[in-house]
C-alpha cells in the first residue's frame, strides 16, 4: 500500500531502518479536478491470493518465528510479464469509465500501481511492523491489527491496519469511498515473496488485482 506512517512526531525511533525521502506534491486527482478516489492494496492478477480467515482480535502478539521469517529486504523479480499484467488489470478496471475521464482514471491508477523496486519488512520490540520502500513514506502500525490514520505520498487519507492472517502479513486501507489491501505471502523457500495487491473504489466497476514476485536480497 502506498501509505504513510502514523503521526509519531515524524520519527520512527531507534532501531528502525532510515526512511527514503521524496518530494511532496498535489495528488493527481486534485490537479485533474476529478473525484476518483483510489486506495492501493493487494490482490492477484495471475493467481488468487490465499484464502483469508477471520482476522484475529487485536492485541495478539506476533510469534517470534513469523517475525524472524519475514524480516528482511526483498527485490522485485517479476520482470516485464508482471508489469504487463498490472497495466492489463488497470485497463480492465477503467473499461466502464466514461470516455472523458477514462484517461485521468487510468493515470491515477497507474501511478498508485507503480511497482516498487523493493520492500523491507521490519519489526520492533514494542509490537510495531514497518514496511519500507524507496521513495515512499514508511508504513508503520501495530502488528496486531490496531488501526491508525495515515496519509500516503499522493495525499490520500485512509485507515491502515497490519496483521498476520494464516501466516500472511496483510495490510488493509479503508476510506469513505473504497479500500484496498496488500498481502505479503512468503513462500516455503523463505526467499520468494509474493505480493498480492488490490485497488478498490466506488468509482470503478471492478477492483484492480494483480500479484508481484520479489526475492530476498
Distance CA 26, CA 164 (A): 33
Percentage of the chain modeled with pLDDT above 90: 57
Report, as an integer, the average pLDDT of 44-69: 60
Report, as an integer, the average pLDDT of 185-211: 95
Picking from 98, 120, 94, the residue whose alpha carbon sits closest to that of residue 12 is 120
Confidence band of 28 (pLDDT split at 50, 70, 90): very low
Measured at the CA of 9, the angle between CA 7 and CA 15, to 5 degrees, comes to: 100
- Compute how many other C-beta atoms are within 10 angstroms of the C-beta atom of residue 203: 18
Predicted confidence (pLDDT) per residue in 35-50, tens digit = 333 333 333 333 334 4
Q: What does the pLDDT read at residue 176?
A: 74
Predicted confidence (pLDDT) per residue in 71-124, tens digit = 999 999 999 999 999 999 999 999 999 989 999 999 999 999 999 999 999 999
Q: What is the pTM of this model?
A: 0.74
**pLDDT > 80? residue 10:** no
Distance CA 42, CA 214 (A): 14
Q: What does the pLDDT read at residue 157?
A: 84
Q: What does the pLDDT read at residue 13?
A: 52
**pLDDT > 70? residue 4:** no
Helical pair 99-112 and 79-93, crossing angle rounded to 10 deg: 140
Predicted confidence (pLDDT) per residue in 136-154, tens digit = 988 999 999 999 998 888 8
Alpha carbon 84 to chain centroid distance? 19
Q: What does the pLDDT read at residue 183?
A: 98
**In this structure, are residues 117 and 75 in contact, taking their beta carbons and an 8 Å threshold?**
yes
Q: What domains are defined for the chain?
A: 28-47+62-216 (2.40.128.20)
Amino acid at each position: 500500500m502506498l501509505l504513510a506512517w502514523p503521526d509519531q512526531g515524524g520519527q520512527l525511533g531507534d532501531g528502525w531502518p532510515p526512511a527514503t525521502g521524496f518530494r511532496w506534491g498535489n495528488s493527481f486527482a486534485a490537479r485533474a479536478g476529478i473525484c476518483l478516489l483510489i486506495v492501493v492494496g493487494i490482490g492477484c492478477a495471475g493467481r488468487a491470493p490465499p484464502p483469508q480467515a477471520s482476522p484475529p482480535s487485536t492485541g495478539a502478539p506476533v510469534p517470534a518465528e513469523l517475525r524472524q521469517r519475514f524480516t528482511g529486504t526483498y527485490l522485485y523479480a517479476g520482470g516485464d510479464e508482471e508489469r504487463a499484467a498490472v497495466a492489463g488489470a488497470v485497463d480492465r478496471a477503467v473499461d466502464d469509465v466514461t470516455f472523458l475521464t477514462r484517461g485521468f482514471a487510468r493515470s491515477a491508477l497507474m501511478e498508485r500501481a507503480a511497482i516498487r523496486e523493493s520492500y523491507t519488512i521490519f519489526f520492533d520490540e514494542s509490537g510495531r511492523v514497518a514496511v519500507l520502500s524507496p521513495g515512499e513514506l514508511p508504513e508503520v502500525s501495530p502488528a496486531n491489527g490496531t488501526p491508525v490514520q495515515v496519509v500516503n505520498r499522493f495525499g490520500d487519507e485512509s485507515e491502515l491496519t497490519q496483521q498476520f492472517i494464516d501466516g500472511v502479513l496483510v495490510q488493509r486501507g479503508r476510506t469513505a469511498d473504497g479500500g484496498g489491501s496488500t498481502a505479503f505471502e512468503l513462500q516455503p523457500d523463505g526467499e520468494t515473496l509474493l505480493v498480492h495487491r488490490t485497488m478498490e473504489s466506488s468509482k470503478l466497476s471492478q477492483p484492480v488485482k494483480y500479484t508481484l514476485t520479489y526475492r530476498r536480497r
